[in-house]
Copies of this chain bind each other. A is one copy, B any other.
Amino acid sequence: MSKQIPEVPYKTYLTEDELPKAWYNLRADMKSKPAPLLNPATKQPMTAAELEAVFCSELVSQELDNDTALIPIPGEILDFYKMYRPSPLVRAYFLEKALDTPAKIYYKFEGNNTSGSHKLNSAIAQAYYAKKQGLKGVTTETGAGQWGTALSMACAYVGLDCRVYMVKISYEQKPFRREVMRVYGASVTPSPSMETAVGRAILAAHPGTGGSLGCAISEAVEDAVSHEGYRYVLGSVLNQVLLHQSVLGLEAKAALDKLGVKPDVIIGCAGGGSNLGGLIAPFMGEKLRGEADYRFLAVEPASCPSLTRGRFAYDFCDTGHVCPLAKMYTLGSDFIPSPNHAGGLRYHGMSPVLSELRHQGLLEARAYEQTSVFAAAELFARAEGTLPAPESSHAIKGAIDEALRCRETGEEKTILFGLTGTGYFDLKAYEQFHSGTMTDFIPDDAALEAGFASLP
């Protein structure tokens, strides 16, 4: 309990005037661009017209734009951002002390909004452009429910119908998440459902299935394309989502610049890549332009190791194979993590932008088993107060390991990591961790081969 004498404030907030006015499109600075989405039937790059059957027009244009570095944020979206942004950049003095490390640890905390994560940054953009195009509503899928909650909030704000397909096992295990979405007026359907042809087919083949994210995506896409005035929206993986999420990286960088601090390593958890892609964007841009150097580290679960053990290949984005093909690190669209995996980040693939960066050797990756991730989460909670989401806790674990290495070497490295969200709806998993019923699961080579067999 000794008195801290802070070098910098515990929390740094930008003022509302300092909020980024434009998103940063990292693709503009990439010499080798991420591979285009392919039409699953023709294997040709998806055209804007083809994509507009699924996505609204402005988002298609953002999806395909590999050249424009700065894309202005519309005023209405900036207004919405002001409800919960700027988010704090926190100096983790208490965690540093608990670790007895010379490292300086900062985290960008995105959990201070009701959706409990960074997902709102893209949800409002996608809802806004859909409304502007005169659409009636949007459909989407959600797993643990953070994206569905974020989209529900954004749709309530702009006045748009919101239909969420929620992975059935999450729907049943997380009734409160589903209830939050209802507070914001969304309809929530457990997936697979009888509402869609793909859902009915999956139910016929696997009557007792608890569903999967890939299956929920297929249902949401089918719902959108078969109803007039509806489009599908997605909370991760896509280029447009990483573009919107750049707001969090831009804020983090602006706050660090204000403090005169340059991070040595930037760490984020990686599922589909939305948070990591947004966090690293402005720093990676500097690196690509030769203006500065940083290390970048993606942390993923050992039970769903797309970046560390996946293949860099074109693959389906969804189980039902109704979506375009994306070139990415993937475990195969049939890969489903062990049911005992409670740590989130369970998508079989990874954002094409991040996959390309990884392929170029610009992004390190590391996988952790979930019990070590929850141990890191608890250490963090007791030191820093905030109860982290299991997803975010992968980044915490990565940051702690970097800081402990500094304790060994004596190096005073500066670490920045993304604390994407809070764990209020993940307490079942914390309970498993405390009661000792949580187990680890690392897929063996045979399990991976079975997933790769579903590659096109």
Contact = CB atoms under 8 A, between A and B. Distances in A.
A131 B1 CA distance: 10
Interface string A438-455: 000000000000000000
Contacts of A425: 424
Contacts of A10: 16, 82-83
A112 B175 CA distance: 23
Given A113-B385, A131-B1, A422-B114, A427 B9 contact: no
Interface stretch (A177-185, A189-197, A314-322, A333-341): A177-185
Contact of A434 (B182, B422, B424): B182
A183 B386 contact: no
Interface in A186-219: none
Given A10-B82, A180-B387, A425-B424, A185 B382 contact: yes
A424 to B, nearest CB: 4
A75 B11 contact: no
A383 B234 CA distance: 23
Given A179-B430, A387-B180, A382 B156 contact: yes
Contacts of A153: 385
Contacts of A225: none
Nearest to A76: B1
B13 A13 contact: yes
Nearest to A377: B183
Contacts of A175: 427, 431
Given A16-B10, A387-B183, A176 B382 contact: no
Contact of A83 (B16, B79, B113, B385): B385
A378 B114 contact: no
A205 to B, nearest CB: 32
A201 to B, nearest CB: 32
A84 B88 CA distance: 10
Quick one: copies of this chain in the complex?
A: 2
Given A381-B114, A382-B185, A424 B427 contact: no
Contacts of A430: 179-180, 182-183
A11 B184 CA distance: 22
Contacts of A15: 9
A158 interface: yes
A3 interface: yes
A4 interface: yes
A332 B71 CA distance: 63
A153 B83 CA distance: 27
A77 to B, nearest CB: 10
A184 B387 CA distance: 9
A52 interface: no
Interface string A289-310: 0000000000000000000000
A369 interface: no
A161 interface: no
A158 B185 CA distance: 42
A215 to B, nearest CB: 26
Closest 9 pairs between A and B when the two form their complex, measured CB to CB: A176-B427, A10-B82, A179-B427, A424-B424, A156-B382, A114-B387, A83-B385, A3-B75, A112-B112
Interface of A: 1, 3-4, 6, 9-11, 13, 15-16, 75-76, 79, 82-84, 94, 112-114, 116, 128, 131, 153, 156-159, 175-176, 179-180, 182-185, 378, 381-382, 384-387, 422, 424-425, 427-428, 430-431, 434
